[in-house]
A and B are shown apart, each in its own frame.
Chain A
């Protein structure tokens, strides 16, 4: 079974631009969660989508948004990029139950100049 895939793997943007990241979950998984990883803050939860609905949301500004499609694929968008948005963005998929293991993709490394 194929794992979680994320595209693109690397991205360079400039301040003020916007970016869209994509995540394809493991087949059969209906939940997709997004995380931001930085050296200073570690891994932080952004939001979770389940059956095309945002189910949980972390403490990030509204510039960070996401959506999920009927095939469970998810996209994350960051508008008006700031230098501090440079990070590794990880998505994780699971079946969606309370104690289901989340499996991570390789991440998209975003550099904002």
Chain B
């Protein structure tokens, strides 16, 4: 079956620095990926998505990079802020398969 995983369970960054959160997937046929952010006590919140015909997509302070050759995607957050502290998930497919999540902690 398809699996989607994240490389690091935790990531700590200084406020103002850039954050990079990585994700790997197993199914080379996966053609749609989404990044979600989940704050404590809340449901996952959509951040950005990317289709397999793209290798980069930018949003507000976020960029997602997709490398289909090595089946890897990353989420880059520019100028990380305290409000960015949350668990970040990558997911793929309509029947979303989620990775285990990376807990991002922003240090003052």
Give the interface of A toward B (CB within 8 A): 4, 33, 35, 42-45, 48, 56, 58, 90, 92, 98-107
Contact = CB atoms under 8 A, between A and B. Distances in A.
A42 B101 contact: yes
Interface of B: 31-32, 34, 36, 41-46, 49, 51, 89, 91, 94-101
A106 B95 contact: no
A3 B27 CA distance: 31
Contacts of B98: 42-44
Rank and list the top 3 A-B pairs by shortest CB-CB distance, nearest first: A104-B43, A43-B98, A99-B32
Most buried by B among A33, A98, A99, A100: A99
Nearest to B33: A99
A48 B19 CA distance: 33
A24 B96 CA distance: 19
A105 B36 CA distance: 13
B97 A45 contact: yes
Contact of B51 (A48, A56, A99): A99
Contacts of B31: 99
